[in-house]
A = this chain, B = another copy of it.
Amino acid sequence: MLGVCYYPEHWDEDRWKTDARRMRELGISFVRIGEFAWSRLEPSRDRFTFEWLDRAIDILTEAGLKIVLGTPTATPPKWLVDQCPDIIPYDEHGRPRGFGSRRHYTFSSETWWKESARIVEIVAKRYGDHPGIAGWQTDNEYGCHDTTLSWGPEDLKGFKRWLRLRYQSADQLNEAWGSVFWSMELESFDEVTLPNLTVTEPNPATRLDFWRYHSDQVAAYDAMQCAIIRKYSPGRWITHNFMGFVSDFDHFKVGDNLDLASWDSYPIGFVEKFPFTEEERNRWAETSHPDIAPYHHDLYRAVGKGRFWVMEQQPGPVNWAPWNPVPKPGMVRLWTWEALAHGAEVVSYFRWRQAPFAQEQMHAGLNLPGLDEWSPGGREARQVAEELAALGPLPETGQAPVAILFDYQSHWSTVIQPQGKDFRYEELCFRWYEALRHLGLNVDFVRPGASLEGYRLVLVPCMTEVDEATRAELARTAATVLVGPRSGSRDRNFRIPDMLPPGPLGELSGNRIVQVASLRPGLADAVTGSVSGAAIRWREYAESRATVLARFENGDPALTERNNLLYLACWPDEKLLASTMALVTEKAGIATMPVPDFIRIRRRGPLSFAFNYGTEDWALPAGAEILLGEAVLKPQAVAIWR
């Protein structure tokens, strides 16, 4: 089903009915509203002006639209900031971040929690049982614009509180952090300082705890909002709209609060954000790289425990990337179908109509700026709506044969201590995912400690701290397991484990890592054996009691196997990665269907979907019973067959 993001407060009230009618005409079922409207709901403290929203909700409901109502906490109004300056976040340079855009609050502020609870309660009470309200969105895009971490006095206060709970005594804190190093020992929690603006790098254990603290704050803040909404709005679901390539907090923990996950899909904007090569950026500039959206669909399906939406779908050019091309004709439709193929329950476009004012005036909508006239993206959305209606309901999305274990903390840990400048956790996961998708496979993401039941292949690209639950699952599973570099290289306190890496996986892998090298661009170490290619960026020196499947140039183990667990002791280049994926899928007994790198396949129950991101045709498999599209998949085309 389709949805749209709408801002009645941006338009004259006499246009609302037309808008609602045209939404229905286009085939929209859901409309998200309200998430930035605080200054219109409460223009000054306790002066409430909800009547316009009452009317807007009624008009939309009467038109047959179901409403997703956002809590307005992403944009505290000016009077609130002036009355409660302690809600303001601080950047890493120690500067307060001002009013005038959005997300100008820190999750650490108790005042902010109080104010948030107050407005959420007011909104939830007023609309909680309105028949038009289908569900809720908490806040908007947690973490956007680097707002997970904050470096102000409220954050220090909260961090001390959190540390006190975790460590009980300063002695235990000193012991855990190894504060004896460089005389950093503290006599009490009062002496804790923020890990920024130090002369040289602060203790990485402190930094990791600071990150964990903030991640916990986000989850707890979200839980607070959810509890209030649940109280006043029984029977409605709650979601949050997460972002792409933002991993500053543990999304799984926020997902625990929610009924379903959603995310904001801007495939073209992300081409500039992710560390692609310039060649890739040019190649995919007008279509997006074919794995960006799918990767996130699969990740947020996991965050949503099987249920997800695309809450904001790019419908044309955006405004926020360094360059903002127009998507190739067909791409808005393609992205929509692709989200559905990956299991999205709803794809909701951002936004109904391009706003001709303020920060996002260059962001496309389904309608031209200020007008009641379809944009090119609007016309594609309408086509999808018609196709969806013709096709009828889609089958369930089943479990994939392959799982990738994704771990937010490993991202934080490698940012804190890269050791090699280009060791980027997210990039490693993305490239492993991409390699699987080149083989035509459905992929699930799983969180640390989750059950691996039912998977035939499990990938752990890198998991710096392997907790006991995860270790036990990896020991228990009969799946082929592939573990990547730096896994088990840190304990809970960010120390090198007593038995050396991979720590808790030492026994399962049969390996002990005694040295590691990071390799500057231009350096590589050839790998030969059952797989071949080269190590780049990162290379480990392992002592192995396992079977060595491939070796580095000097004979050191590069890929080892013990029982069903393989360990890859490096960052693989493209060739080594492909070769390794071929090997492990074969060992796992998974049938693959290699596709050109501009084609992607996804199965949903008995249906197969294909998507063409390229400039050449591609022939569908012979004998396909085609439900949508043609036997020859044109550039930017979509096909569905049985």
Contacts and interface: CB of A to CB of B under 8 A. Distances in A.
Interface of A: 7, 9-10, 36-40, 43-44, 72, 75-79, 82, 89, 93-104, 144-145, 147, 177-187, 191, 193-206, 272, 278, 281-282, 285-286, 316-317, 319, 322-326, 354-362, 364, 368-371, 375-376, 417, 419-421, 493-498, 500, 514-520, 522-523, 539, 541
B325 A199 contact: no
Given A78-B184, A180-B10, A369 B104 contact: no
A417 B417 CA distance: 36
A515 B326 contact: yes
29 contacts: A39-B179, A39-B180, A39-B183, A40-B180, A75-B182, A75-B184, A78-B184, A93-B95, A97-B197, A97-B198, A98-B196, A101-B182, A102-B182, A145-B200, A177-B357, A178-B358, A181-B359, A201-B359, A203-B358, A205-B357, A282-B523, A285-B519, A317-B516, A326-B539, A362-B516, A364-B515, A369-B500, A371-B500, A376-B515
A170 to B, nearest CB: 10
Contacts of A358: 177-179, 181-182, 184, 203-205
Copies of the chain in the assembly:
3
Contacts of A79: 187, 191
Contact of A421 (B200, B317, B322): B322
A186 B78 CA distance: 7
B323 A193 contact: no
Nearest to A72: B183
A200 B102 contact: yes
Q: Which of A78, A199, A522 has the most CB of B within 10 A?
A: A199
Given A75-B184, A97-B198, A203-B359, 13 more contacts: A39-B184, A43-B185, A77-B183, A93-B95, A95-B197, A104-B198, A177-B357, A178-B358, A181-B357, A182-B358, A326-B541, A356-B498, A376-B514
B516 A103 contact: no
A515 B365 CA distance: 11
Given A203-B100, A325-B519, A359-B181, A496 B93 contact: no
A518 B100 contact: no
B180 A9 contact: yes
B100 A198 contact: yes
Q: Which of A38, A44, A316, A356 has the most CB of B within 10 A?
A: A356
Query: Could you tell me the dominant secondary structure of chain A's interface residues?
Result: loop
A101 B187 contact: no
A182 B10 contact: no
Contacts of A104: 198-199
B99 A317 contact: no
Contacts of A419: 319, 324, 362
Contacts of A194: 98
Contacts of A145: 199-200
Contact of A496 (B370, B519, B539): B370
B496 A187 contact: no
A98 to B, nearest CB: 5
B278 A522 contact: yes
A30 to B, nearest CB: 22
